[in-house]
Amino acid sequence: MATTASQTLRTPSIRNPSLSLSSKLPLSSAFSVSFRPCRGRATRPLVVVVSAGLDAKPTILVAEKLGEAGLELLKDFANVDCSYNLSPEELCTKISLCDALIVRSGTKVNREVFESSGGRLKVVGRAGVGIDNVDLAAATEHGCLVVNAPTANTVAAAEHGIALLAAMARNVAQADASVKAGKWQRNKYVGVSLVGKTLAVMGFGKVGSEVARRAKGLGMHVIAHDPYAPADRARAIGVELVSFDEAIATADFISLHMPLTPATSKILNDDTFAKMKKGVRIVNVARGGVIDEEALVRALDAGIVAQAALDVFTEEPPAKDSKLVQHEKVTATPHLGASTLEAQEGVAIEIAEAVVGALKGELAATAVNAPMVPAEVLTELKPFVDLAERLGRFAVQLVAGGSGMKTVKVTYASSRAPDDLDTRLLRAMITKGLIEPISSVFVNLVNADFTAKQRGLRITEEKVILDGSPENPLEFIQVQIANVESRFASAISESGEIKVEGRVKDGVPHLTKVGSFEVDVSLEGSIILCRQVDQPGMIGTVGSILGQENVNVSFMSVGRIAPRKQAVMAIGVDEQPSKETLRKIGEIPAVEEFVFLKL
């Protein structure tokens, strides 16, 4: 008895937090099955791989200063071009010669950069956490993988947050400037104490939680606001998670640690400053854009905010005459949060490994815009990855011109529980197979879902659970295209969709069903599908026509409804038959329809 579990295509979760940092996802093995030569068009890898000649190395552009250890790793594998302080125009010019680009927060990797790359740019490595300077949508649309280095600078950023907190409370920067100017103003620079004060940590992620831990050590009462953080993680270090309003209304100090997103942009503004305790002090080592900087100047002038310590600014570097930077109650640093020797060495190694891995065809655990598929899952799914693409490629060629293709249903039949079958890679491959033969777009794991959505193609997935041993991850994959006409009417199933089904046999993908007809033909090279009235001599007749033209038959199978009724013959051929040969097959009296398809 089969049971089913359905799901509709959703954007895959971008990161798998369960993967350890050092996890590598070797996709290179998947390539060998996925990209056997297909006739008629060039093939591209599912993920990124450098398609260079034997001695041609990929080129990596390092556009901002990177630690030496990371550069060494890069140089072992690629030609490394370290060109710092490029203008946007210079970057766009250079990028067409580069396979990968590594940046920190100072380089805008916008849509123009991806467009200028002419398809060569395969990986963008962000040597740090924040990816707000990279246009992720444009990267995904161009099939470019974005990786970051999310952990190596966490402690450095937290330490800088604590440094700013203490320096602000004790007027260290202002007093230092005053002493250096020859003054001795002990009364002017009386500070405030931290112990016993309430600190609201806004964003309880990697940096926020490290700041909280350190602030507890300073004797502060720490609360946190983070809509997505688990309360038990906060409780474990003695921090209470509270609402946004409660956090800002009760805090003596507010420390910002959330990413810059549309939801957090200018989250501190005139309205929210008005709800704060008078005399609150604010630290920002996250991103300048989370504060409305003009509103902060007003709040400082009005005495609502007593002081601010800022490492980050909406525009970096800020204008020389910026009222905020020049404000006497503001302590400013030039985005130094990640800038310790230790953090920069760590970040450089982390990003170099991720970029080199991606260029080799692996997916690093820090991919930002691609689904993560663990290595063991990839190894197991390897033969099915090829089947998936070929079934998609086969199915789409059965669609009659002008029918459009809006809805595709994919069924995976397996003896495994639905949760034990990760189908994201298979779905990407089916999408690749469905789209590439009918468009100029190259589809890979990064852009498959985006490309399907952009073309208005809705792909739903269903898992059919079979009785049997769960050793084999999949029994068969079925692809159904709804609401279309077919070039081969027999491919339409009883329920009205184009239906094809395939299995892996001895490691080779096989077509096992077309419409309602059982067939068995290896899914490679070219295939002739032929519907005829089942009668003696048909196989011989078709075979001899092909033989006369020196077309070699690799496989042949016949599926029929009943003896002497209709049958579908599937013939695998090594060479492309001439039009004349195909015409002769079509003229065999018992042949009702036929189609020639190239994989």
Ligand X SMILES: NC(=O)c1ccc[n+]([C@@H]2O[C@H](COP(=O)([O-])OP(=O)(O)OC[C@H]3O[C@@H](n4cnc5c(N)ncnc54)[C@H](O)[C@@H]3O)[C@@H](O)[C@H]2O)c1
Interface residues with ligand 3PG (CB under 6 A) are 104-106, 127-130, 153, 335, 337-339
**Residue sitting closest to ligand X (CB):** 205
CB atoms near residue 263 (< 10 Å): 9
Contact segment (CB under 6 A) with ligand X among 83-91, 257-265, 301-309, 365-373 equals: 257-265
Q: What are the start-end ranges of the E strands in 323-415? A: 330-332, 362-364, 407-414
Q: Give the nearer residue to ligand X in terms of CB position, either 310 or 571.
A: 310
Secondary element (H or E) of residue 478:
strand 476-482
Q: Is 316 one of the annotated active-site residues of the chain?
A: yes
- Kindly state the smallest distance separating residue 103's Cβ from ligand 3PG, in Å: 8
Cα 287 to the center of its chain, rounded Å: 23
Q: To 5 degrees, how large is the angle CA 597–CA 119–CA 347?
A: 125
- Kindly state the smallest distance separating residue 335's Cβ from ligand 3PG, in Å: 6
How far is the CA of 82 from the CAs of 59, 85, 91, 473, in angstroms?
Answer: 11, 10, 12, 45
Q: What is the CA radius of gyration of the chain?
A: 31
Q: Give the nearer residue to ligand X in terms of CB position, either 70 or 515.
A: 70
Q: Is 287 one of the annotated active-site residues of the chain?
A: yes
How far is the CA of 310 from the CAs of 301, 307, 521, in angstroms?
Answer: 16, 10, 66
How far is the CA of 446 from the CAs of 372, 528, 563, in angstroms?
Answer: 10, 33, 48
Q: Which of 203, 383, 437, 515 binds ligand X (CB under 6 A)?
A: 203
Q: Which residues pair with 594 in a beta bridge?
A: 530
Within residues 337-376, the interface with ligand X by CB under 6 A covers 337-338
Secondary element (H or E) of residue 209:
helix 206-217
Main-chain phi, psi angles of 261, to 5 degrees? -135, 170
- Interaction of residue 226 with ligand X, rule CB under 6 A: yes
- Interaction of residue 445 with ligand X, rule CB under 6 A: no
- Kindly state the smallest distance separating residue 128's Cβ from ligand 3PG, in Å: 3
Give the interface size with ligand X as a residue count (CB under 6 A).
31
Contacted by 286, from ligand 3PG, ligand X, none: CB < 5 to 8 Å by type = ligand X
Q: Which of 80, 100, 102, 129 binds ligand X (CB under 6 A)?
A: 129
Within residues 262-301, the interface with ligand X by CB under 6 A covers 263-264, 285-287
- Kindly state the smallest distance separating residue 312's Cβ from ligand 3PG, in Å: 7
- Kindly state the smallest distance separating residue 121's Cβ from ligand X, in Å: 23
The active-site residue out of 126, 335, 503, 531 is 335
Looking at residue 282, the DSSP 8-state letter turns out to be E
Q: How would you classify residue 507: left for phi > 0, otherwise alpha for psi between -120 and 50, otherwise beta?
A: left
The active-site residue out of 104, 142, 225, 287 is 287
- Kindly state the smallest distance separating residue 316's Cβ from ligand 3PG, in Å: 9
Contact segment (CB under 6 A) with ligand X among 57-65, 108-116, 178-186, 225-233 equals: 225-233
Contact segment (CB under 6 A) with ligand X among 137-145, 260-268, 299-307, 484-492 equals: 260-268
Residue 400's contacts (CB-CB under 8 Å, 6 or more residues apart) are 484, 485, 486, 487
Residue 382's contacts (CB-CB under 8 Å, 6 or more residues apart) are 29, 30, 33
Contacted by 430, from ligand 3PG, ligand X, none: CB < 5 to 8 Å by type = none
Mind spelling out the 3-state secondary structure of 523-572? CCCEEEEEEEECCCCHHHHHHHHHHHCCCCEEEEEEEECCCCCEEEEEEE
User: Is there a contact between 598 and 395 (Cβ–Cβ < 8 Å)?
Assistant: no
The whole-angstrom separation of Cα 258 and Cα 241 is 14
Contacted by 227, from ligand 3PG, ligand X, none: CB < 5 to 8 Å by type = ligand X
Q: Give the nearer residue to ligand 3PG in terms of CB position, either 151 or 322.
A: 151
- Kindly state the smallest distance separating residue 365's Cβ from ligand 3PG, in Å: 17
Q: Is the dihedral of CA 242, 245, 250, 256 positive or negative?
A: positive
Contacted by 431, from ligand 3PG, ligand X, none: CB < 5 to 8 Å by type = none
- Kindly state the smallest distance separating residue 78's Cβ from ligand 3PG, in Å: 21
The active-site residue out of 68, 89, 90, 316 is 316
Contacted by 202, from ligand 3PG, ligand X, none: CB < 5 to 8 Å by type = ligand X
Q: To 5 degrees, how large is the angle CA 568–CA 574–CA 577?
A: 70
- Which residues are near ligand X by CB under 6 A? 129-130, 153-154, 157, 202-208, 225-229, 257-260, 263-264, 285-287, 311-312, 335, 337-338
Q: Which positions are annotated as active-site residues? A: 287, 316, 335
